[in-house]
Structure 1
Amino acid sequence: MCATHLRLNRADSAESAPQNTNLLGLDAVRAWAAVGVVVLHACVPYSNPDVPGLTWATTDTPHSALTSLMWAIEIVIMPIFLVMAGILAVRSMTSRGPLATLKSRTRRLGWPLFLSVVFLIPVDLYAWLLGWLADGVITPRQMRTLKFAEGQDEHLWGLSHLWFLQYLILYIAVLAGAWKWLQRIEPKTVFRIGLPLTVSVAAVVLCFHPEVVWGFQHAFLPVPAKWLYSGCAFAMGVLIARADADLSWLRQVAGRAFCPSALLCIAATVLGIWVLNQRPSDDVQYASAFPVVVSRVTWVSLALLTVAGATGVSLSLIGIACRRVNKIGPVTQRLATASFAIYLLHHPVLVLFHVAAKHGMPSASPLLKMSLGTIIAVLVPVGMHFVFRGMMARRASTVVSQGDQDAPSILTMPTTSEESASERRLAG
């Protein structure tokens, strides 16, 4: 995988630079949101109840605090990434045009997706099966032949965490197709109508398909309900960027909105965990989608709290970061630079740690194991990213050196001060 792919978000930040708007906050949010994804997955073996529809490599000692932490992150983490993706897509299409943006994003998202499906998904698969083998769920023969008992592999096959890349390519394609129409409408009118509409659509989707958030839908092709719900968050970013390019409105309201939004997120987390602990459904068809029976009022309440908490916390964190972050520290900068590598590579590293920790440290605290797993699953991809980038830099330096020796009379083009400043500014 080439360095351009691993530094996907670097180009996104570069597209923001010509508009003279300080969006270092987006780099900071992206850096720590990537860590949040790792924390979310690090909590999975210790959750109780289990995530409906999610098959993990192993289960370990349940821990109530880690269960709450996992669900609180689950509510907000993907909306954060999708809102930022919508904002950056609009900025790119404004400066470069829809077709150029679509080609660029398709190339820089599509190649990592393709290569990950070919190389990373098989690694993920056998990491999962190793955990099952260690737990006695399958035999060595089943692991070798990939033939399982009926229903045993029901939720095993799919794109795993790579669904985000697939969905994002489709969202950008839809935005590129609608760009001319969007340009003809007054931005603030679109925002006033579009934002309440997207929030309403997201709530309606959750009323009928709570498993979009309160479960996991694993497939190789987009799941309509999940694609629509996630698309609402992307659309929010598009609407905000169209109506307010420098995010001044978001900066102003973020501070006041954060505390109420956090309380809504906490309420959604508490209610969601309570719902998951209710009596399993006797209806086999219904249970396959979401395995509990509660009243319709509870479903609606959970949907409204989830959407309100996710929307409020996502927009508040982005707004606060854009308002307050004027300089990025070295740790945040390295995390932001390697955020795409963290996203791609943390899965098998974390799963192998979970299996090793369960059988190698059976009496250790779940908090300790979760913390160690998070640290390892962040540091390994970050280290791989910078080692790979160093190798590519040395290779490029060697090529330049050889070119200078072959053609000593050709003067190299100096880097402009503006480009140098941009390179120093970028965190990812």
Structure 2
Amino acid sequence: MTTIVSHPSAPIPAVRSRWEGLDWLRAGATVLVVCLHAGIPYLKHPMPGLAWPARESASIPVDVLCWGIDAFIMPLFFLQSGFFAAQLMRRHGPDGFLKHRVQRVGGPLLFGMVVILPLDLYAWLLSWVGQGLITARKLRSLKIDSPLGENLWGLSHLWFLEYLLVFCVIAWGLQRLAALRKRDTLPMHTPSHMDGSSWLAMLGAIAISGLALWWQPRVVIGFRHSWWPLAANMLYYAPCFGLGWMWSRSRRGSRQSQLSFGIRLAVGALMFAGLYPLLQQHLAAESIPVANPLLPFMFAASAWMLSTGFFGWCLYHVHVSPPKPVQYLAEASFWIYLMHHPVVGLVQGNLVHWNISSELKFAIATSAGLGMSLLTYHAFVRRSWIGELLNGRRIGAPVSPAADPSRQSVAA
């Protein structure tokens, strides 16, 4: 990655003031993330390595939905983040890019660690106290015995911000290295075989991500709680960020038809249907590395087909402005990402005592996570310094969306 300058054979196109399709995508993906977390207690098999406030009777529909979301949602977010990171680099230069990313990613990460993670922790602990799994004294000592305490400590759902910040620092370093070597001119558009939307690039990404998932399946098929970036996780998600970056620098994707992206979505869905029985076999008797190498590569392929299909479709072929409720949901998406997690966990801990179906509990937890996040956003965040930290400005202050393309990229 090098500094991008104007080139006679590749003029820089005008910056779009708004990507309507990506507002739809941001709002929809935010809802899916809340659905994923709301469904975890009702999976057929517990998610390996994940400490959770509740574990209840399984629901097959919820299980299929949640694993389907889990397959592609984070690759989609990293793909979108890489896409806008490349535009920020082009607009601000390496040092301006780094400053922007530290403020807009590192700032919310620090806020989340100080404010959200304690809420998360006590939502979990209070749920366990209510179920009689730990004593109330543990709320003070925080000494949680195994197995509950084994996977309790780490960044929780904030891991995405940490990895995104690391990828941005790496991008800055590569730009600086390129400048030192005086390779500081690069055509705006990449060759078609290196285009982030190309099939060849996607096959390479599938191979890398599949290898990482075979090596450590809990990257996606499970969870790895940590304070620090982990090698297998980096290997799995780096191609997502990288291809998003390449996609931003190319024109080829805009020439692909709706049919092309529709084929990706159809193939991705069919591949997930095919791998679902393999996934259940693995979860019933987990092995690391994965015993059946077909599973991780099919999982990665499904993830890439679905994530690039959704992203390309929304980027190039959705030009209808979303209605105000969807716009508001997209605007609040960063706060929803931060806040829904402890809300969902606390609600699920209370729902354990309710004699209702798992599907209904899933719906209640989803609604509570979205509803409470939106209420707190409107009441306390939107026009406050927190909203400025998350959105780059206080709502009501005049700003051109083109001035900050990262507003289109949601963290989750």
Gaps of 5+ in 1: 1-16, 279-290, 397-413
Cα gap change, 1:305 to 1:421, in 2 (>3 Å): closer
Partner of 1:187: 190
Partner of 1:376: 368
Please list, as runs of the form range in 1=range in 2, the aligned pairs for 1:323-334 lying within 5 A after superposition: 323-334=317-328
Deviating above 6 A after TM superposition, structure 1's stretches of 4 or more consecutive aligned residues are: 420-423
Is the Cα–Cα contact under 8 Å of residues 18 and 401 in structure 2 kept in the other structure? no
Is the Cα–Cα contact under 8 Å of residues 250 and 319 in structure 1 kept in the other structure? no
> SS of 1:19's equivalent?
coil
Aligned partner (choices 333, 349, 354) of residue 355 of structure 1: 349
1:309 maps onto 2:302 in alignment: yes
> In the TM superposition, what whole-angstrom CA distance separates every residue of 1:146-176 from its partner, at most 9, and x where no partner exists?
1233444110000000000000001111112
1:145 maps onto 2:149 in alignment: no
How far the C-alpha of 1:380 sits from its partner, in A, is 1.3
How far the C-alpha of 1:81 sits from its partner, in A, is 0.5
Is the Cα–Cα contact under 8 Å of residues 133 and 140 in structure 1 kept in the other structure? yes
For residues 366 and 145 of structure 1, the distance between their equivalents in structure 2, rounded to whole angstroms, comes to 33
Please list, as runs of the form range in 1=range in 2, the aligned pairs for 1:4-403 lying within 5 A after superposition: 19-20=15-16, 23-179=19-175, 180=178, 184=186, 187-188=190-191, 189-191=193-195, 194-244=201-251, 247-249=254-256, 253-278=260-285, 291-292=286-287, 296=291, 298=292, 300-322=293-315, 323-359=317-353, 361=354, 363-388=355-380, 391-392=383-384
For residues 261 and 171 of structure 1, the distance between their equivalents in structure 2, rounded to whole angstroms, comes to 26
| 2:158 partner amino acid | L
Is the Cα–Cα contact under 8 Å of residues 252 and 319 in structure 1 kept in the other structure? no
| 1:331 partner amino acid | P
| 1:207 partner amino acid | W
For residues 88 and 127 of structure 1, the distance between their equivalents in structure 2, rounded to whole angstroms, comes to 34
Instruction: Quote the RMSD (CA, aligned, Å).
Output: 3.0
Is the Cα–Cα contact under 8 Å of residues 28 and 336 in structure 1 kept in the other structure? yes
For residues 221 and 348 of structure 1, the distance between their equivalents in structure 2, rounded to whole angstroms, comes to 21
> In the TM superposition, what whole-angstrom CA distance separates every residue of 1:183-221 from its partner, at most 9, and x where no partner exists?
648711533775443322111111211121111000011
- Whose radius of gyration is greater, 1 or 2? 1
Gaps of 5+ in 2: 1-12, 389-396
For residues 35 and 271 of structure 1, the distance between their equivalents in structure 2, rounded to whole angstroms, comes to 27
Cα gap change, 1:215 to 1:388, in 2 (>3 Å): same
How far the C-alpha of 1:250 sits from its partner, in A, is 7.3
Partner of 2:393: none
Is the Cα–Cα contact under 8 Å of residues 58 and 131 in structure 1 kept in the other structure? yes
TM-score of the pair, normalised by structure 1: 0.80
| 2:358 partner amino acid | P
Is the Cα–Cα contact under 8 Å of residues 42 and 358 in structure 2 kept in the other structure? yes
Is the Cα–Cα contact under 8 Å of residues 198 and 235 in structure 1 kept in the other structure? no
Partner of 2:9: none
For residues 184 and 120 of structure 2, the distance between their equivalents in structure 1, rounded to whole angstroms, comes to 40
Cα gap change, 1:194 to 1:161, in 2 (>3 Å): same
For residues 183 and 213 of structure 1, the distance between their equivalents in structure 2, rounded to whole angstroms, comes to 38
TM-score of the pair, normalised by structure 2: 0.83
Cα gap change, 1:20 to 1:160, in 2 (>3 Å): same
How far the C-alpha of 1:117 sits from its partner, in A, is 0.7
Is the Cα–Cα contact under 8 Å of residues 215 and 288 in structure 2 kept in the other structure? no
How far the C-alpha of 1:29 sits from its partner, in A, is 0.7
> SS of 1:132's equivalent?
helix
Is the Cα–Cα contact under 8 Å of residues 241 and 247 in structure 1 kept in the other structure? no
Cα gap change, 1:200 to 1:391, in 2 (>3 Å): closer
Name which of structure 1's ranges 216-225 and 114-123 shifts more when overlaid on structure 2: 114-123
| 1:222 partner amino acid | P
Is the Cα–Cα contact under 8 Å of residues 17 and 401 in structure 2 kept in the other structure? no
How far the C-alpha of 1:22 sits from its partner, in A, is 5.3
Cα gap change, 1:251 to 1:132, in 2 (>3 Å): same
| 2:208 partner amino acid | V
How far the C-alpha of 1:386 sits from its partner, in A, is 2.0
